[in-house]
């Protein structure tokens, strides 16, 4: 019985990680946009395959944004548009992070999702013109004081401060709503 469950779990993992992706677009720092047929992420670069079959190495330091479409589910014909950006975190290192909310203030997530374990995601925010993204929350059970970090970061907006105190009190799960509200109602 145990080998059957293990085999089924492995098959489910393979299907969940083998999502169909297409329309790969890289935005280079020099302003050029590169659309490719396929890409492979390596340790220090991305190996791009153009539609004519030519291959090109793109260093991580040479692009700032990556967009692609991913199949909504394994059998769906519908695709979701995804965006990732190079973000400098407080540790000074650059990371390619999924962009969750885009606007005057961007919300990013990073984390790991290992099958059959608890997934942990860290959330980062960064306003236009800021050099570093700061950690605003985590799905981890041992989280620092979300409310005080959010109040400090959004202190430039009185309406936002009031909303965090009342409506968004300790609601890390509502980060998308919080950042969208900030983008729509604050300067």
pLDDT in tens, 59-74: 999 999 999 998 887 6
Question: In whole angstroms, what is the distance from residue 145 CA to residue 153 CA?
Answer: 13
pLDDT above 50: residue 128: yes
- Cβ-in-10-Å burial (0-12, 13-18, 19+) of 46 comes to buried
pTM, entire model: 0.78
Question: In whole angstroms, what is the distance from residue 181 CA to residue 175 CA?
Answer: 10
Q: What is the fold, at CATH topology level, of the domain defined by 19-71?
A: SH3 type barrels. (2.30.30)
- Please report, in angstroms and rounded to a whole number, the separation of the first and last CA atoms in the chain: 59
Sequence spans of domains, the chain:
19-71, 89-187
Beta bridge partners of 126: 106
Residues 6+ apart with CB under 8 A from 93: none
For residue 11, what pLDDT band results from cuts at 50, 70 and 90?
Answer: very low
**pLDDT tens sequence across 44-101:** 999 999 999 999 999 999 999 999 998 887 677 888 899 999 999 988 999 999 999 9
61, 55 contact by CB (below 8 A):
no
């Amino acid at each position: 019985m145990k080998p059957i469950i293990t085999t089924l779990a492995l098959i489910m993992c393979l299907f969940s990680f083998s999502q169909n992706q297409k329309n790969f677009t890289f935005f280079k720092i020099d302003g050029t946009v590169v659309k490719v047929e396929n890409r492979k992420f390596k340790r220090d670069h991305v190996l791009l395959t153009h539609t004519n079959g030519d291959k090109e190495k793109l260093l991580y330091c040479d692009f700032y944004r990556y967009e692609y479409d991913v199949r909504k589910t394994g059998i769906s014909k519908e695709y979701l548009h995804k965006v990732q950006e190079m973000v400098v975190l407080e540790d000074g290192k650059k990371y390619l992070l999924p962009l969750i909310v885009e606007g005057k203030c961007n919300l990013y997530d990073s984390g790991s999702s290992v099958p059959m374990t608890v997934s942990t995601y860290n959330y980062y925010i960064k306003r236009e013109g800021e050099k570093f993204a700061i950690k605003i929350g985590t799905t981890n059970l041992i989280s620092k004081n979300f409310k005080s970090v959010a109040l400090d970061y959004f202190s430039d907006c009185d309406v936002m401060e009031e909303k965090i105190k009342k409506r968004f009190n300790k609601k890390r799960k509502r980060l998308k709503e919080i950042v969208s509200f900030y983008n729509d109602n604050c300067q």
